[in-house]
Amino acid sequence: MTSCAQKILHDVFGYARFRGEQQAIVEQIADGGDALVLMPTGGGKSLCYQIPALLRPGVGIVVSPLIALMQDQVDALRQLGVKAAYLNSSLSADDAREVQSRLLRGELDLLYVAPERLLNAGFLALLERSSLALFAIDEAHCVSQWGHDFRPEYRELTILHERFPAVPRIALTATADAPTRREIIERLSLESARAFVSSFDRPNIRYRVTNKVSALNQLQDFIDKEHANDAGIVYCLSRRRVDETAARLKEFGWDALPYHAGLDAATRAANQSRFLREEGVIMVATVAFGMGIDKPNVRFVAHLDLPKSMEGYYQETGRAGRDGLPADAWMAYGLGDVVSMRQMLMSGEAPEERKRVELQKLDALLGFCESTACRHQTILRYFGEEHPGNCGQCDNCLEPVDTWDATQAAQMALSCVYRTGQRFGVGHLIDVLLGKVTVKIEQFNHQQLSTFGIGRELTQQQWSSVFRQLIAGGYLEADIEAYGGLRLTEAARPVLRSEQAISLRRDAEPAKRKSVRTERAGKSREPFSGADEDRLWLALKACRMALAREQGVPPYVIFHDSTLLEMHDRRPASLAELSRISGVGQGKLARYGDDFLKVIEENF
């Protein structure tokens, strides 16, 4: 079985060897066993069920929650010569019937379906008349009611074990903390499955969290200096913010598109298609966009608003650098994010238990934002994995954070909250500490308080940082009934009593902004220095784009950037030499080999 799997890996997919635990997972499923696979985005999860589906008799049924993911996967598999299809609402009735006929005739290697379709009684009856190789349940964290992408239909997928007990099942996810893993096992009846947990580390991603001052200007500077010609995703919390950000980026010359549930389906589909099929497009989106997106050369993911949890943040940032080449995860984070996100969670209609869990997850993310430790280390610790730190790929390691003894400042801030009645927002509290005589301060006679004017040694921006970190640290919380006014928590008591010292990170002063219109550098995170002017590299990308347009598929379906980079570096001169490039299987060698060899010969 091992030699057969190796042959498929090389001949079909074009890879010389398995990575990590891929081979063990393939053997487990190919031998008829069940598996739970936790592997980071870009780690090669798909191969773990695609190869067993080709090894075993029958068709592999892949449960996937998104139409875009199905179409991407099927396009890529067909390029490799694999007989793949999907069944979803995008197909006409005639096309759907043809796919079902092919299923019954045994003409498919892999069939992708949505969970809703799979649970249909008619489709289950169809499966009972078919030869089945395996069931693959992708994005398995959707089964968790505490997860960030809960899908109720996923909880009914235990029917697969009940109706088809002899068919092996593999559940896969890139994001699941320990409680979510336990829930996946319980809800999908995978108690006897072998668990494979790969490292969650994404060493090619550089994590950065910056203090939010003027988020849109900061985003423009970030893209201009480092990613002016790159594909990227910008996440925002609201539809309005998405539209404003996309419009602003377009004003400054970037090819930016909006994506959110308020747009009609045709516009969303068109924008997503452009993002997948064109180079250098920036998608500005709510979290409705992205799960299952296979585009491997997304060079950056930016957050203009705080996500809800570490799982959400990890999954969203994981859409960058799937090809293993350098990528950035950049987030602007400020005091308003902390207050508004807590308010949003607490004011919802969810049961109290759910609110408590969501607040715990938010607190973990706030801790990540405020941490002075290695970002990679902090992320992995959340998922129960150790990391030695000093990654050289995050802001805290590249530019160690300066901290200061903020005990006295914290006492002033907490005392001000208490003496104003624990019902005012940060803006008013800072005015009191700075001794500003405003209409509101005179209205409530707060100029008579002992805390009025005691904080003049710090600036307004510094006080904003103090309050943000006290909220993130759990010393203060927003009172929903007081419209976001701050109140003390039990954790504030020992600080006020001088029983506990407080150390806070010192926020860097915001850099003076230069004119983006006149000084755009046009840099990008290309895979090597000088790539923007390298004749062969540009010619290889142009050849790929021409072939992709000719066939109506995204460029990465032809070849990933990493495959083009290996062609560029090794300069193969024959089909035999080209076949030894990672990602060049026999199908693609036959279809594209001559085209790329010609490009290499003409641009050597």
pLDDT at 124 over 90: yes
Mean pLDDT of 16-42: 94
Ranges 11-20, 240-249, 354-363, 441-450: which has the least confidence: 354-363
Ranges 227-231, 355-359, 401-405: which has the least confidence: 355-359
Ranges 154-158, 234-238, 337-341, 375-379: which has the least confidence: 337-341
pLDDT at 519 over 80: no
Provide the percentage of residues in the chain whose pLDDT is more than 90: 64
Q: What is the pLDDT of residues 104-122, one digit of tens each?
A: 999 999 999 999 899 999 9
d(CA 76, CA 56): 20
Ranges 170-184, 201-215, 407-421: which has the least confidence: 170-184
Mean of all residue pLDDT scores within the chain: 89
Mean pLDDT of 76-92: 93
Place of tokens 């950049």: 330
pLDDT at 521: 47
d(CA 430, CA 462): 10
Supply the DSSP symbol for 152: G
Ranges 138-147, 288-297, 381-390: which has the least confidence: 288-297
Greatest extent of the chain over all pairs of C-alpha atoms, in Å: 85
pLDDT at 255: 95
- Dig out the tokens for 601 from the structure: 């010969």
Per the confidence metrics, is the pTM higher than 0.75? yes
pLDDT at 141 over 90: no
Q: What is the pLDDT of residues 223-239, one digit of tens each?
A: 999 998 899 999 998 99
Ranges 12-21, 347-356, 565-574: which has the least confidence: 347-356
- Alpha carbon 212 to its chain's center: 21
pLDDT at 288 over 90: no
pLDDT at 483: 58
Domains and CATH numbers, the chain: 2-197 (3.40.50.300), 205-398 (3.40.50.300), 403-505 (1.10.10.10), 531-602 (1.10.150.80)
pLDDT at 561 over 70: yes
pLDDT at 355: 80
In this prediction, residue 215 has a pLDDT band, given cuts at 50, 70 and 90, of very high
Render the burial of 75-101: b for 16+ CB within 10 Å, e for the rest.
bbbbbbbbebbbbbeeeeeeebeebbe
Mean pLDDT of 277-282: 92
pLDDT at 517: 41
pLDDT at 83: 97
pLDDT at 482: 55
pLDDT at 515: 43
pLDDT at 524 over 80: no
In this prediction, residue 509 has a pLDDT band, given cuts at 50, 70 and 90, of low
pLDDT at 480 over 60: no
**Of residues 294 and 164, more confidently modeled:** 164
3-state SS string for 540-568: HHHHHHHHHHHHCCCHHHHCCHHHHHHHH
d(CA 235, CA 308): 12
Give the count of beta carbons closer than 10 Å to the beta carbon of residue 463.
Answer: 22
- Contacting residues for 14 by C-beta, under 8 A, at least 6 apart: 563, 579, 581, 582, 583, 584, 585, 586, 588, 589
Ranges 125-139, 177-191, 227-241: which has the least confidence: 177-191
